[in-house]
Amino acid sequence: QSLRNEIEVLKRINHKNIIGLKDFFETESRLYLVCDLAEGGELFEALIDKGFFNEKVAAQLVKQLLEAILYLHSKDIVHRDLKPENLLFDSKSEDANLMITDFGLSKYIEENDILKTACGTPGYVAPEVLMKTGYGKPVDMWSMGVITYVMLCGYMPFYGNDAAEIFKKIIKNEKEFEKEDWSEISSSARDFVEKLLVTDPKERMTCAEALNHPWLSNPGETDLMKSAQKYFNAKKAL
């Protein structure tokens, strides 16, 4: 069912920062999707291969993702499962586009619609999903806050021994900006993250507001290779 959902969404969209659906076909027992070839690989793996990653590059990548999300939201599509593993580069070149993939959980939403289904990935899921108060497009912005946080420091803002512990921290918004990891990161970058990781979805930055945030036009130059390596190693260990 999630593949059929993905087909329905991808058939209707076309953006350089979103994986493209070329074709699909079905046998008696299987459904196949033919998508763009993402030769550049997953976000963090690719960054490590490139051997260079700083705050400026992070801001450029975040901007690409926000432009794709703005496009999706303008089409009344909520992705609902944004995370680094669903972000792929289209090539290995220096100016490669970062693409959003995996639309299996994505959903069309009318202007005043409220979604209720609990879905997403622990650690990236927004508090309103967990609190079952109904949700909409702002859940993607929360996930972007988590992704940006991870890009900048190399670990998750909300972590625990199991999903229940992680969910509890998300609901209480118990995140920390550890001094040893954040002292060299620009205050503008931290402000950007804090304005996305806001519990009340009505107070959270929208995609348009995020694209106008000063960090994207004037980021710091802090080297983030250690952060990328930290996250990649942690994922490999799992």
Catalytic residue among 23, 81, 95, 113: 81
Q: How buried is residue 228: exposed, middle or buried, by Cβ count under 10 Å (0-12/13-18/19+)?
A: buried
Please tell me the distance from the alpha carbon of residue 219 to that of residue 208, in angstroms, as a whole number.
18
DSSP state of 25: E
Please tell me the distance from the alpha carbon of residue 56 to that of residue 215, in angstroms, as a whole number.
9
Longest alpha-carbon distance in the chain = 57
* β-strand pairing of 41-42 with 77-78: unpaired
Per DSSP, the chain holds a count of helices (H) and strands (E) of 11, 7
| 23 a catalytic residue | no
Report CA Rg, the chain: 17
Active site residues: 81
